[in-house]
Chains A and B, each alone.
Chain A
Amino acid sequence: MFVPRRLVRAATLSLRRAHTSAPALNSVNAEDIAHFSKFLTPTSIISTLSPQPSPSSELAPFNNDWMNKYHGQSTTVIRPRSTQEVSEVVKRCNERGIGIVPQGGNTGLVGGGVPIKDELVLSLGNMNKVRSFDPVSGILVADAGCVLESLSEYLAPHNHIMPLDLGAKGSCQIGGNVSTNAGGLRLLRYGSLHGSVLGLEVVLPDGTVLDQLSTLRKDNTGYDLKQLFIGAEGTLGIVTGVSILTAPAPQSVNNVVLALPKFDNVLPLFTKAKRQLSEILSAFEFFDRTAYDLAVKHGQGRALNEDETEGAECFVLLETSGGNKDHDDEKLNGLLENLMESDEPLINTGVISQTPAQFSSLWAIREGITEAVSKEGKAYKYDISIPLAEFKHVVDTTREHLRSKGLMRDDAVKHVIGYGHVGDGNLHLNIVATNYTPEIEAALEPFVYELVAKYKGSVSAEHGVGVMKTHALHYSKSDTSIEWMKRIKQIFDPKGIMNPGKVLP
C-alpha cells in the first residue's frame, strides 16, 4: 500500500525538519552485522547483509504489519536470547546512530511495530521464558517475549489467570502488551496494566539495563519510572522483563449474548447489570448488527438462531466470573428474569452458554470481529474513547458522512461498524473498504478525530499512537502535554534511535 507509506514519509520528513537537532539516522551495514555475529548465535540474525544473506522473504513478516497496511524496508532483524544480548545490540546502535524498532508479536494495529524506513528490527520472540511465579501472591515474572496465551496456559494449573485477555492472545507478547498498555476484554474487572504491572526490566537507549523488576505491591520510593514505559510503544527503551500481578482463576464463569432492539437500551442495560451483578460482572461488550453479521459470515463462533437475532439492532456479550457457581447462577438468573419479564423490556431475547465449548463459542463471535473485518476487506480502524451515549451517534454520523461523499458503495466503503468495550467507554469504529485509497482516508481524517475531540474523547483508547495517529495526537493532548512528552523522550533518547517517527508528532 504505497499511499499510507507516502503519507508516513511526508510526516517523518516534517518531523526531521522540525527537530534539526536530532541527527539523521544511519543504516545497518555489513560491519554492524559482523559485530553482532561476535556475540549472537547465527540464528539470532536475519539480514540481507550477512555473508550468507537471508532472502528478503524471511524479513517480510517483520517488515509488514498485521493488517498489511504499513510496510518497512529493514535489512536486518535481530532476535536476542537474553537481556545482556539486547543491551549489547542497543549499545552498538546507539554508538552508530542506527534506529531500532522493538517488535513483539507484531499484532499492533497502529503501525508502531514495523519500521518506517530501514531501522533495525529487534524482535523479542526468542526471550520467552517464565522467570518465576509465586502461587501465594500470584506474582509472575516473565521475559518480555512470552506469548500472552502461553502465559495463560502456564498459569492454568496454578489456578491463576492473566489480568488481561485480547483477541490477539495467540501471537501478542507480554512485552508488546505492556508497551501498548493493551486494554482488552478483562479490563473492566482487573483494571489497566498501570495497576497490575508491578515492575519492569528495560534496556535504555544507551544500552544500560534499568532493573525495576520489583515484586512488591507497595513501593512508594520516589518517581515510579516503570509507568513511563507502559504504553510508550518502544520509544523510550526496550522492555525485556515484566513482573505482573495475576488473578486467582474464577471457579465459576457464565456468559450470555443479549439481542437488543435498539442501541439506546445499551446504557440502561449496563447500569442494571452493574447493579444486579456487582462484583461478578467481568465483561460487558457491545457489537452492532453489522459487526455481528460479519463475524457470522466469516465463521467466528456458532451463530444464534435466526429467530433470536430478528429485529436486533445490536448485541451485548455479558460475562460473569466468581467463586461460587450457585451464588453466581442465582444472581445472573435474577437479572435475566428481570430483563425478560419487565414491562418495557430492554432486550428482545438472548442466549446463555451451557458448556465450556459454548462459552468459548459466544466469545468467539465477539473476539472474531477483528479477524472477520480483515477477511472482509481493508479496514480503517479507529479505536476511540467517547461518552457511552455517543457510540451509535458516532458510527451513524461517520456512515452518513461517507455516504454524502459518495463513498458508501461496493467498490469503496462496504461497511461502517461499531463494537467495543462498553464497560470501559471504548468504541472500535471500523470502516471496511475494498482498498486503502487516499480518497477514503481524506474523507475520514480529520473528520473522525474532530468528532472525537468534540466529545472530549481520546483518539486512541487502547491501541496506541504508533505511526498512524502521531498527527492526531493534538486532538486529545494539549500543547503542554505534548511538549513535556517530547522533553521526556529527549532525556531518555537524545539521539532519537528508539522507534523513530512513532508516537510523537
Chain B
Amino acid sequence: MSNKLKILVPVKRVIDFAIKPRINKAGTGVDTKGVKFSMNPFCDIALEESLRLKEANKGLVEKIHAVSIGPTKAQDILRTALAKGADSTTLVDVGDEEVEPLAVAKLLQKVVEKEQSNLVILGKQAIDDDSNQTGQILAGLLNWPQATFASKVEVEGDNVKVTREVDGGSDTLSAKLPMIITTDLRLNEPRYASLPNIMKAKKKPLEKLKASDLGIELSKRLKTLKLEEPASREAGIKVDSVDELVAKLKEAKAI
C-alpha cells in the first residue's frame, strides 16, 4: 500500500459500566460524585483493534492517535490509551459541557484533518447516552465510506474488509481507504495496560485544545427536560392454588 495507516481513535470518558448510575436529586442528570469513570467499552474495543492491526501487520500502521472530547479529567483515559499502546493523544477540553454527536463529529472532522488520519475506528456508541450517531455523522461530513458494527476487520492492500453481525448471519463489506469503522462488542477483548507502556506514556505528548482552537462552536440542539428512573417493579406474591392464580391473573386483566 502506498500510504501507511494513520489511525484516529476517539475515546470517551463515561461512568464505568460495572457501576449502576443514579439520577441526581434534582432530576437533571446522573450523579457523578465519587463515581468511578472509565473508557467507554466500545472505544476500548476500537483502540484494541487499532493496536492489533499494528501488531499483526508490520509496517502497516504509522501512528495511532487517540482523541477525547470531554472534561479535563478525560486525560485519565487518554493516559490509559497511551498505556495500552497509543502513540499520541489530543484532549479537546470542553469542561463539563455535554457535547452532542453532531458537534463531536465536527470536532473529530477537524482532528482528522489536523492529524491527516486515513482510518477512524470508533465505538458504535457510548454507554452513557447510547446515541450511536457519531461515526455515521462523521462519515457524512468527511464523505468517506463507513462500515458500522464491525465484528472483524481485515486490511488487504488498499482495501479494508469488515464483517458485521446482522440478524441471522453476517454481512461483509469492503471499502477503500480512507474510511470509518465503528466497533461492536464481539470484535475483540481489550488488553490490560502494560507497565513498560505506562512508563513510556509519561514521556508521550498530551496535546490539549479547546473547541474554539478547532474553530467549532458548541451549540446545543437538544434540551433535557427531566430524567426519571423507570418505575420500580412491585414485589411478587405467592399463590396457594391454581384457582387463586387464575383469579389473580383475571384481576390483573392478564387473561
Residues of A at under 8 Å CB distance from B? Answer: 256-258, 302, 304-305, 308, 333, 336-337, 339-341, 347, 349-358, 362
- Is B189 at the interface (CB under 8 A from chain A)? yes
Task: Please report the C-alpha to C-alpha distance between residue A60 and residue B239 in the assembled complex, in whole angstroms.
Answer: 32
- CB of A349 within 8 A of CB of B192, answer no
Contact indicator B192/A351 (Cβ below 8 Å): yes
With both beta carbons as reference points, the residue of chain B lying nearest to A305 in the complex is identified as B191
A308 partner residues in chain B, CB cutoff 8 A = 194
B117 to chain A, nearest CB (A): 24
A352/B198 contact (C-beta < 8 A), A357-B17, A357-B18 known: yes
Is the Cβ of A302 less than 8 Å from the Cβ of B192? yes
Closest 6 CB pairs of A and B: A351-B192, A356-B18, A350-B195, A355-B38, A354-B80, A352-B193
Q: Once the chains are docked, how many angstroms separate the CA of A337 from the CA of B192?
A: 17
Let me know if B195 and A351 touch, CB within 8 A.
yes
B residues 185-226 touching A (CB-CB < 8 Å): 189, 191-196, 198-199
A356 engages B195 (CB within 8 Å): no
Q: From A359, which residue of chain B is reached at the shortest CB distance?
A: B18
Q: A349-B194, A355-B38 are in contact. List 9 more A-B contacts (CB 8 A).
A: A256-B195, A350-B194, A351-B193, A354-B83, A354-B193, A355-B16, A355-B17, A355-B39, A357-B18
Instruction: Contacts A337-B199, A340-B199 given; indicate if A354 touches B18 (C-beta within 8 A).
Output: no
| Residues of B close to A353: CB separation below 8 A | 192
- Do A336 and B193 touch across chains, with their CB atoms under 8 A apart? no
- The prevalent SS among residues of A at the interface is mixed
Q: Could you tell me the distance in whole angstroms from the C-beta of B40 to the nearest C-beta in chain A?
A: 11
Does chain A have a CB within 8 A of B36? Answer: yes
**A340-B199, A341-B199, A357-B18 as given contacts; A351 in contact with B194, CB under 8 Å:** yes
The answer to whether B38 and A354 have CB atoms under 8 Å apart is: yes
Q: Provide the bound-state CA to CA distance between A460 and B39, in Å.
A: 44
Asked if B195 and A349 sit within 8 Å, CB to CB, the answer is yes
Q: Footprint of A on B, CB under 8 Å?
A: 16-19, 36, 38-39, 80, 83, 189, 191-196, 198-199
Residue of B nearest to A325 (CB): B36
Chain B: minimal CB distance from A316 (Å): 13
CA distance A42 to B122 in the complex (A): 59
Q: Is the CB of B196 within 8 A of A349?
A: yes
Residues on A with C-beta less than 8 A from B83 are 352, 354
A256 to B198, CA, bound (A): 13
The distance in angstroms between the C-alpha atoms of A339 and B39, with both chains bound, is 27
Report A-chain residues with C-beta under 8 Å of the C-beta of B18.
355-357
B200 nearest CB across to chain A (Å): 10
Find the B residue at minimum CB distance from A341.
B199
Smallest beta-carbon distance A327→chain B, Å: 15
Pick from A256, A333, A352, A355 the residue with the most CB of B within 10 Å.
A355
The distance from the CB of A362 to the nearest CB of chain B, in whole angstroms, is 7
Q: Check B192 against A362 for contact (C-beta < 8 Å).
A: yes
| CB of A354, distance to nearest CB on chain B (Å) | 5
Closest to A360 in B: B18
Chain B residues lying within 8 Å of A257, measured Cβ to Cβ, are 192
B124 to chain A, nearest CB (A): 18
**Candidates B16, B39, B80, B194; contact of A305 at CB < 8 Å:** B194
* Cβ-defined contact, B195 with A336, below 8 A: yes
A336 near B17: Cβ-Cβ < 8 Å: no
Min C-beta distance of B33 to chain A, whole Å: 13
Q: Check A354–B39 contact: CB distance below 8 A.
A: yes
Contacts of A337 in B (CB 8 A): 199
Q: Report the nearest B residue to A355, measured CB to CB.
A: B38
Q: How far is A355 from B36 in the complex, measured between Cα atoms in Å?
A: 9
Question: How far is A258 from B16 in the complex, measured between Cα atoms in Å?
Answer: 25
Residues in chain B near residue A340, CB distance under 8 A: 195-196, 199
